[in-house]
């Protein structure tokens, strides 16, 4: 049974939480299909400005974005994240 020291959140649940915070800024989190050329080049996740219809950020993991938006607790982690070699990536 999970303790408060390590409560796992599914990727889908994490995206839904983040989306609820981003909608106020007219943004949405989305993901590229795992293993796709886009995921390899830009990272698995991206944030879209829904008004401008543009990608504004990409990353291999969404935990950093969740912390920025205060939608994840210190004792929670997103399933499959925290592996070496993952990083936030720039679009430039």
Tens-place pLDDT, residues 28-51? 999 999 899 999 999 999 999 999
Prediction pTM value: 0.81
Q: Hey, where are the domains in the chain?
A: 7-85
Does residue 91 have a pLDDT over 60? no
Give the side-chain half-sphere CA count within 13 A for 55. Answer: 16
pLDDT band at 65 (very low <50, low <70, confident <90, very high): very high
Cα-based angle 16, 17, 18 (whole degrees, multiple of 5): 90
């Amino acid at each position: 049974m999970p303790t408060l020291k390590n409560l796992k959140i599914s990727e889908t649940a994490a995206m839904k939480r983040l989306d609820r915070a981003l909608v106020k800024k007219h943004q949405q989190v989305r993901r590229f299909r795992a293993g796709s050329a886009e995921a390899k080049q830009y990272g698995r996740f991206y944030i879209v400005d829904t008004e401008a219809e543009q990608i504004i950020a990409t990353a291999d993991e969404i935990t950093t974005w969740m912390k920025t938006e205060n939608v994840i607790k210190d004792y929670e982690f997103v399933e499959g994240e925290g592996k070496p070699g993952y990083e936030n990536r720039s679009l430039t």
